[in-house]
C-alpha cells in the first residue's frame, strides 16, 4: 500500500498575487530536507504539499519529523493513496486505518472532493467509507459531535488520500520570505527563542556571539554553537560569527563608573553587531530582550542601547514573561542546553548597582573616557565564523 505525507498550508493561502513566491521558497526547503533523508518526490496542489517516497526503503518517520519543522505548514499527516473509485477507497481505508483507530470508540468520517466529477457527493462518500471501517472494526460507533478520531478522505485530481490523526505543523511562513536578520545569540534561554520566533516569520538568520576569554571559556562558546545547531532544525544553516569583548570590558572596568559597565558594554555590542549585519546583508538585528526582565532591559536602558544602532532591532520576546519564554524553549529543544552553567560575557564585571533609569547624555560622558574607535577596531579584528548545520542532516 502506497503511503505519502500531506502538508497543509497555513497563511500562505492568504498571500494573493505573491503566493507563488512563498510557495517557491517553501518547496525549495522541503526538497532540501527530503534530499538529505532519501528519495522522495515533492509536489503541490490546492494548498497542500505531497511528499511521496520513490522506494519502499525510505525513512518516512524521519521525513515526517522534518516536515513538522518546516515553517509554512499548519498540519502534517501520513496518508494512504487510493485509486479514485469508491471500491478502492473503501478497501484502502479498511486496510490502512485500523492501527490509527486502535483504542478509539467513537468515529467520524469526513470527505472532501476537489474533483467534482467524482460520482459520489462528500456526505455519501463519507458514509461508504464509514461502513467499510465498521465492517472490520464493529466495536466503533459513529459520533459526529464528539469523536475520538476523525478520518478524512480527500479526492484530488489524480488520487484519493485517506488519513486520520493530523498533527500540528510549525506554522508561520517559510524561512527566507522576510529577508535576513542578525541574531545576538548568547548562552541564555531568551535569544534562541527570539531567533526561532523571527525565523517563523520568514527571517533567515546569521548569529553573533560575544565572548570574553579568559573570563569566559571555550566550553561557553561550544554551548552557544550547540544552541545554533539546535535552531537549525527549524531555521536551516546558520553562520555563527564570534567577536571577543575582552579588551573592551577591561577598558570599561579600568576607566568608567561601575554603574555604567553593562550599558557601555551593550552599546559596544550593538555597534559591532551593526557592522557585522552590514557585512552579512542583514537589515535588522534580533535580540531576546524582554521588557523589565533585568536592569539592562528597562525601557530607559533599552532606549540608551538602541541609540547606538543604525538599523532596527527586532525584539520578539519583548512582551513575554519568563514562563512563556521557557515554555517555547522547551518546545523547540533549546532549554536544556541554555541552562548549562557556563559563563556569559554579560556576567563579567557585573555592576553591583546597575543604572536602571540611565540618561543618554550621562552614558556618552562615560564613553568619552574610552579610546572608543581603537577599542572598536581591535574587537572587530578578532571576528571569526563557524557554520552550524542541522544535526540530522
Can you tell me the distance from the alpha carbon of 141 to that of 374, in angstroms, rounded to the nearest whole number?
A: 77
pLDDT at 392 over 80: no
- Does 180-388 match 3-168 at the fold level? no
Q: What is the mean pLDDT of residues 11-32?
A: 92
pLDDT at 391 over 70: no
pLDDT at 266: 96
The 10s digit of each residue's pLDDT in 75-106 is 999 999 999 999 999 999 999 999 999 989 99
| Cβ count within 10 A of residue 288 | 25
pTM for the whole thing?
0.92
pLDDT at 2: 94
pLDDT at 393: 46
When pLDDT is cut at 50, 70 and 90, the band that residue 17 belongs to is: confident
pLDDT at 130: 95
Q: What is the mean pLDDT of residues 174-188?
A: 95
Closest listed residue to residue 286, CA positions, set 206, 345, 220: 206
Contact residues for 317 (Cβ-Cβ < 8 A; gap 6+): 190, 193, 194, 197, 288, 289, 290, 325
Closest listed residue to residue 38, CA positions, set 18, 22, 17, 52: 52
pLDDT at 165: 85
When pLDDT is cut at 50, 70 and 90, the band that residue 167 belongs to is: very high
Q: What percent of the chain has pLDDT over 90?
A: 87
Q: Which CATH class is domain 180-388?
A: alpha beta
Can you tell me the distance from the alpha carbon of 218 to that of 210, in angstroms, rounded to the nearest whole number?
A: 12
pLDDT at 274 over 50: yes
DSSP 18: G
The 10s digit of each residue's pLDDT in 277-336 is 999 999 999 999 999 988 889 999 999 999 999 999 999 999 999 999 999 999 999 999
Please give the mean pLDDT across all residues of the chain.
94
Contact residues for 189 (Cβ-Cβ < 8 A; gap 6+): 288, 322, 325, 326, 329, 334, 335, 338, 339
pLDDT at 191: 97
Can you tell me the distance from the alpha carbon of 392 to that of 66, in angstroms, rounded to the nearest whole number?
A: 9
Instruction: Give the DSSP H or E segment for 272.
Output: helix 261-280
Region for 72 from its dihedrals, namely left if φ exceeds 0, alpha if ψ lies in -120 to 50, beta otherwise: left
Beta bridge partners of 286: 183, 314
Q: Which three cell numbers stand for residue 151?
A: 478520518
Instruction: Give the DSSP H or E segment for 276.
Output: helix 261-280
pLDDT at 136: 95
Can you tell me the distance from the alpha carbon of 135 to that of 273, in angstroms, rounded to the nearest whole number?
A: 65
pLDDT at 347: 72
Distances (CA, A) of 85 to 157, 163, 320: 12, 16, 52
The CATH architecture annotation of domain 3-168 reads: 2-Layer Sandwich (3.30)
Q: What is the mean pLDDT of residues 365-389?
A: 97
The 10s digit of each residue's pLDDT in 205-217 is 999 999 999 998 8
Please report, for the chain, the start and end positions of each structural domain, with discontinuous segments joined by +: 3-168, 180-388
The 10s digit of each residue's pLDDT in 111-166 is 999 888 899 999 999 999 999 999 999 999 999 999 999 999 999 989 999 999 89
pLDDT at 363 over 70: yes
Beta bridge partners of 79: 4
Amino acid at each position: 500500500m502506497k503511503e505519502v505525507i500531506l502538508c497543509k498550508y497555513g497563511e500562505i493561502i492568504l498571500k494573493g498575487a505573491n503566493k507563488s513566491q512563498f510557495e517557491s521558497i517553501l518547496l525549495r526547503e522541503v526538497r532540501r530536507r527530503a534530499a538529505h533523508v532519501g528519495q522522495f518526490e515533492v509536489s503541490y496542489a490546492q494548498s497542500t504539499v505531497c511528499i511521496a517516497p520513490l522506494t519502499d526503503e525510505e525513512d518516512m518517520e524521519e521525513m515526517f519529523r522534518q516536515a513538522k519543522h518546516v515553517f509554512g505548514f499548519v498540519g502534517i499527516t501520513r496518508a494512504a493513496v487510493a485509486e479514485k473509485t469508491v471500491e478502492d477507497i473503501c478497501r484502502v481505508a479498511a486496510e490502512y486505518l485500523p492501527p490509527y483507530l486502535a483504542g478509539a470508540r467513537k468515529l467520524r468520517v469526513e470527505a472532501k472532493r476537489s474533483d467534482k466529477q467524482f460520482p459520489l457527493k462528500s456526505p455519501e462518500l463519507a458514509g461508504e467509507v464509514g461502513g467499510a471501517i465498521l465492517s472490520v472494526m464493529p466495536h466503533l460507533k459513529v459520533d459526529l459531535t464528539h469523536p475520538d478520531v476523525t478520518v478524512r478522505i480527500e479526492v484530488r485530481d489524480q488520487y484519493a488520500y485517506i488519513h486520520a490523526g493530523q498533527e500540528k505543523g510549525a506554522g508561520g511562513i517559510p524561512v527566507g520570505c522576510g529577508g535576513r536578520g542578525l541574531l545576538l545569540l548568547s548562552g541564555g534561554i531568551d535569544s534562541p527563542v527570539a531567533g526561532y520566533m523571527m525565523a517563523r516569520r520568514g527571517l533567515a538568520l546569521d548569529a553573533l556571539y560575544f565572548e570574553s576569554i579568559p573570563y569566559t571559556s571555550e566550553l561557553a562558546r561550544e554551548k552557544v554553537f550547540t544552541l545554533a545547531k539546535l535552531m537549525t532544525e527549524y531555521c536551516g544553516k546558520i553562520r555563527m560569527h564570534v567577536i571577543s569583548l575582552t579588551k573592551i570590558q577591561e577598558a570599561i572596568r579600568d576607566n568608567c563608573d561601575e554603574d555604567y559597565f553593562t550599558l557601555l558594554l551593550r552599546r559596544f555590542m550593538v555597534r559591532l553587531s551593526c557592522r557585522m549585519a552590514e557585512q552579512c546583508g542583514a537589515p535588522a538585528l534580533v535580540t531576546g530582550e524582554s521588557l523589565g526582565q533585568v536592569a539592562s532591559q528597562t525601557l530607559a536602558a533599552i532606549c540608551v542601547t538602541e541609540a547606538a544602532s543604525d538599523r532596527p532591532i527586532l525584539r520578539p520576546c519583548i512582551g513575554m514573561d519568563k514562563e512563556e519564554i521557557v515554555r517555547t524553549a522547551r518546545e523547540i529543544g533549546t532549554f536544556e542546553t541554555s541552562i548549562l552553567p557556563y559563563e556569559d560575557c554579560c556576567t563579567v564585571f557585573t555592576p553591583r548597582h546597575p543604572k536602571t533609569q540611565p540618561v543618554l547624555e550621562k552614558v556618552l560622558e562615560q564613553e568619552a573616557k574610552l579610546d572608543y574607535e581603537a577599542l572598536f577596531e581591535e574587537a572587530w579584528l578578532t571576528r571569526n565564523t563557524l557554520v552550524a548545520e542541522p544535526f540530522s542532516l
